[in-house]
Amino acid sequence: MSENAPVVTRFAPSPTGYLHIGGARTALFNWLYARGRGGKFLLRIEDTDRARSTPEATEAILKGLEWLGLDWDGEPVSQFSRIERHAEVAREMLEKGSAYKCFSTPEEIAAWREEHPRQPFQSPWRDATDLPDGPYAIRLRAPRTGETVIDDAVQGPVRVANDQLDDMVLLRSDGTPTYMHAVVVDDHDMGVTHVIRGDDHLTNTARQIQVYDAMGWKRPVFAHIPLIHGEDGKKLSKRHGAVGLHEFAALGYPAVAMRNYLARLGWSHGDDELFDDAQAREWFDLAGIGRAPARLDFKKLEHVSGHHIGVMDDEDLLRVIEDYLVETGAKPLTDQQKSRLLPALPALKEKAKTLPQLLEQARFALVSRPIDIEEKAAKALDSVSRGMLKSLTAAVQHASWTRDELEQAAKTVAEENGVGLGKIAGPLRAALAGRAATPSVFDMMTALGREESLARLQDQIELAG
């Protein structure tokens, strides 16, 4: 492949279910490789299996890619819509002699395989000249000697003896193309220069290369990436927890964090663990992909997620939170809630690993008066503590409402009552948030503002009545 040729990658999912986390990583690798080189990233929906392909699954895939932030060039291509083109190429190969008509029935093929176990099927029609009428499949006239070599950018040279490969069916007897044939035609016609996909496709590649060669088409660069395993080293499945991209989104990992984590899952750039999109596009290359299966590590994912939440712009983070609430079917934020949450984010985002954790800490900014007090917090609100809240209210009534001044006022009230700051922080926490565990009381007061903070304090003072 010429270094000057424009890079074209593709993601080609089958719409038979949700977007698996492994598929999302494959899409990301293709996106990063193309975007980092000014190339094109194409999307093809491999929907030739009409019995299993559904519009709902296609929509789920598109939605998943959009959530992950992977934009593609042009319109998504439907493989099923191109079956005439696939058939045309098969017939062209038939005319050239690189394919032949096979009249063997499924029963005859099954009988042959039973008689010749562990051998690739050898059609008796490969070199026949006296051909009958009736339905036939078109098979590739594959080489019987030598070997097919896959120069894989990740796995290195992979050699397959040609006598271990059968003459692949290109067109079935009902006139429909096989998936293995359609993939090659589509990749060629779409100008794909780099096929980056899971290494579970590696066994197919030798057969697909033979189609390229038979048509005289230039082979793309193949890069087969190892699969993702669970933390126990076994193939990722439901028993490991979340495996669908939508499940990770629902757990509250921001898309930017998922891009960082998935990029690092099987690929490395030195010791860099945390990076932004621009760095990922600049650094990503095929040489950095390892050959060993990657392991999904939820603790590491949480660490990456916490980092990106912490460095995110507050306005951007608020939009991410709003989108998350919509996606999970929660009530959208009111204007009042947004006005209280935004100034609270600088303090809240430092400790949160996920969006649900952040929202739990932000509860004080999202609830309305009168505040429900949980039992544990209510214990801090006796007549003495309410008296201190009354003193604090008077002390901060005309304060400038900065964090430092609020804290100093609380210390003064505590000293006047002969107690430590913690003795006033507990009832203050309960009055402001209704909880015993909250962010800093002074961070809450600055986020809520003077009017709301004093109103919440007054509610508890009046209860002392």
Q: What is the rounded CA–CA span in Å between residue 93 and residue 85?
A: 13
Using alpha carbons, select from 350, 341, 307, 343 the residue that is nearest to residue 321: 341
Read off the amino acid at residue 115. E
Instruction: For the beta carbon of residue 135, count every other beta carbon within 10 angstroms.
Output: 11
Question: What count of other Cβ atoms lies within 10 Å of the Cβ of residue 382?
Answer: 11
Catalytic residue among 63, 235, 238, 331: 238
CB-based contact 389:431 (threshold 8 Å) = yes
SS (H, E, C) 370-404: CCCCCHHHHCCCCHHHHHHHHHHHHHHCCCCCCHH
Whether 218 is catalytic is no
Alpha carbon distance 465, 453 (integer Å): 19
CB 207 within 8 A of CB 233: no
Rounded Cα distance between 93 and 99, Å, is 5
Positive or negative torsion for Cα 241, 351, 318, 41 = negative
**Closest CA relative to residue 282, chosen from 2, 7, 38:** 38
Q: Is cis: bond before 6, omega within 30 of 0? A: no
Strands 137-140 and 169-171: antiparallel
238 is in an annotated binding site: yes
Identify the H or E element spanning 44: strand 40-45
* Residues annotated as catalytic (active site), given as ranges: 238
Binding residues for ATP: 238
